[in-house]
Amino acid sequence: MSNIVAIVGRPNVGKSTFFNRLIQRREAIVDAVSGVTRDRHYGKSDWNGKEFSLIDTGGYVLGSDDVFEAEIDKQVELAIDEADAIIFMVDVESGVTGMDEDVAKLLRKVNKPVFLVINKVDNGKRAEDAVEFYSLGLGEYYTIASINGSGTGELLDALVEALPEKEEVEEETLPRFAVVGRPNAGKSSFINALIGEDRYIVTDIAGTTRDSIDTKYNRFGFEFNLVDTAGIRRKSKVKEDLEFYSVMRSVRAIEHSDVCLLVLDATRGFDGQVQNIFWLAERNRKGIVVLVNKWDLVEKDHKSMKDFEKTIRKQMEPFTDVPIVFISALTKQRIFKAIETAVEVYKNRTKKIKTSQLNDVLLPIIENYPPPAYKAKFVKIKYIMQLPTPQPQFAFFCNLPQYVKDAYKRFLENKLREHFDFNGVPISVYMRKK
């Protein structure tokens, strides 16, 4: 499980520019996901072979001093609580502000690596001006210019060196199914209905689950660990932002799961926050099952389910090969169908295709539909194999891998899905030099 690094600071210091530059320059990054509240972003990065999740806490709501202080207390303390390291970004152009001092006051109490990063330092004069930030009491600082990437390498070298080593998780024989979703979607109610007892706190108030809890499930021939990841802990000095906190908790839970059961409220639909968590799971290459809960509350006719599913798949594009199950945790409608589907997705994710079978099926298709020629050069794919990874990854060996475009890779992925059933599972396709 990778570390979490949070970027904090006041508005307009360049946090999002730094975040975007970082994820664009890392080959291992899958992409960023924009949050729906205050322009937050979530992504994965790696530097020198060390992977970590990156969270940009976004801008704060501007208004009175009281409103701003509330936002600092809320978001920075939440980030501090969940992150393994914190990047505190300030702006050399405006110098030390009262807002910076408020954040620094919180960070001085933290027993975690804190990196003071001074942005917009793109010449010698500004490098001299940066000295005043010693007054924040956070020790040494790093100067960067996020607009052009200057100084980023030195910062990331220090960051990955300071990140705590994650203990290797012992290989578990039981798969882990994480129940994720936005607050008050019915995650705990679903688990209670499934295990037949009120193991969890269930109310109509969003965020009543105190922490992520594992339950070993062993009924009707299924055995796995079930995790409720609502994960909203009441902390005495934290004014909670439930959506922000639920996503931060979901980052850890998703990374340490095999299949994510994404529970959404049918009365709210596949909204921005649900999409945010969906793409977190997809970019972590986890199996996904979408559970449309509270289906009993929706007025419907004979076409409602089909139309609802069509709308969801449109918002999932391009990854639409995902099972969608309509359930009601209250009436227990289709809850066991949801588990059967999750088990099938887990089997798909751990499926291994014989090399001979891959080549026998796909090489004739590739021969009939080869990659388009590029600059009068023809790409010839000679050999295919599945890589020995926890999730499905395939290497296509050819003479000119650099000329194979994303559109053709999607064609290959679609053929893999068509012939080998990877429903609910992200697939990675790599072109390699033969």
Q: Which of 91, 123, 94, 122 is nearest to 13 (CA)?
A: 91
Residues in the chain: 434
φ/ψ (deg, to 5) at 248: -60, -40
Nearest 5°: phi and psi at 259?
A: -130, 135
Please indicate if the annotation marks 49 as binding a ligand. Answer: no
Query: Is 121 known as a binding-site position?
Result: yes
Query: 13 among the known binding-site residues?
Result: yes
- Is 204 within any annotated ligand binding site? no
Give the distance, in angstroms, between the CA of residue 165 and the centroid of all CA atoms in the same chain.
Answer: 20
Confirm whether residue 57 is marked as ligand binding.
Answer: yes
Placement of tokens 């697939």 in the chain? 427
State yes or no: 352 annotated in a binding site. no
* Residue 393 CB neighbour total at 10 angstroms: 16
Q: Do the annotations mark residue 279 as ligand-binding?
A: no
CA distances from 252 to 2, 63, 206, 397 (A): 8, 33, 20, 34
Helix (H) or strand (E) segment spanning residue 107: helix 98-107
Is residue 241 marked as binding?
Answer: no
Is 424 annotated for ligand binding?
no
Tell me if 103 sits within 8 A of 96, measured CB to CB.
no
Q: Is 181 annotated as a binding residue?
A: yes
Residue 175 annotated in ligand binding: no
Q: Is 337 annotated among the ligand-binding residues? A: no
Report the alpha-carbon angle 144-150-152, nearest 5. Answer: 65
- Annotated ligand binding at 139? The verdict is no
Interatomic CA distance for residues 44 and 49, integer angstroms: 13
Q: Is 16 annotated as a binding residue?
A: yes
183 annotated as ligand-binding: yes
Q: According to the annotation, is 182 in a ligand binding site?
A: yes
Cβ-proximal residues to 399 (8 Å cutoff; 6+ apart), any chain = 379, 380, 382, 433, 434
- Asked whether residue 47 is marked as a ligand-binding residue, the answer is no
232 is in an annotated binding site: yes
390 is in an annotated binding site: no
Q: Is 10 marked within a binding site?
A: yes
Please tell me whether 63 is known to bind a ligand.
no
> Is 186 marked within a binding site?
yes
Closest CA to 326 of 281, 381, 270, 365: 270
Residue-by-residue DSSP string for 332-396: TBTHHHHHHHHHHHHHHHT----HHHHHHHHHHHHHHSPPPPBTTB---EEEEEE-SSSS-EEEE
Distance of CA 359 to the CA centre of its chain: 33
| 15 labelled ligand-binding | yes
The annotated binding site is made up of 9-16, 56-60, 119-122, 181-188, 228-232, 293-296
The annotated binding site for GTP is made up of 9-16, 56-60, 119-122, 181-188, 228-232, 293-296
